[in-house]
Amino acid sequence: DGGITQSPKYLFRKEGQNVTLSCEQNLNHDAMYWYRQDPGQGLRLIYYSQIVNDFQKGDIAEGYSVSREKKESFPLTVTSAQKNPTAFYLCASTTISIMNTEAFFGQGTRLTVV
């Protein structure tokens, strides 16, 4: 089945530690996105990538980093510079075509700082 897979589902981070969230898709989508979801604030864009080896900052990129070495994969690293990383992180992908308006989402990773 085609889809988008995020792992792990739950992640705990100690203060000062970097952690990496995985996102893999087998939908052959060109564009991939990382969102952060906090209660009452909806989805906020962290980074997005429309092509391999290229990515752009979203609205809240500070304290995060990404890479796009393969079309299928778009990992997100939450660095120690991110002061309030506890949140629900969602990865999404889309095609880039005139007929498409659907973003496919993974099931999310809940990150908690301990």
Partner 1 sequence: QKEVEQDPGPLSVPEGAIVSLNCTYSNSAFQYFMWYRQYSRKGPELLMYTYSSGNKEDGRFTAQVDKSSKYISLFIRDSQPSDSATYLCAMIRNNYGQNFVFGPGTRLSVLP
SS3 letters across the chain:
CCCEEEECCEEEECCCCCEEEEEEECCCCCEEEEEEEECCCEEEEEEEEEECCEEEECCCCCCEEECCCECCECCEEECCCCCCCCEEEEEEEECCCCCCCCCEECCCEEEEEC
Residue of the chain from 107, 112, 113, 114 that contacts partner 1 (CB under 8 A): 107
Q: How far is the CB of 16 from partner 1 (least distance, A)?
A: 27
Tell me the window of 14-22, 61-69, 79-87, 93-101 that interacts with partner 1 (CB under 8 A). 93-101
Question: Judged by CB under 8 A, which of 66, 72, 82, 106 binds partner 1?
Answer: 106
- Minimum distance between the CB of residue 27 and partner 1, rounded to whole angstroms? 13
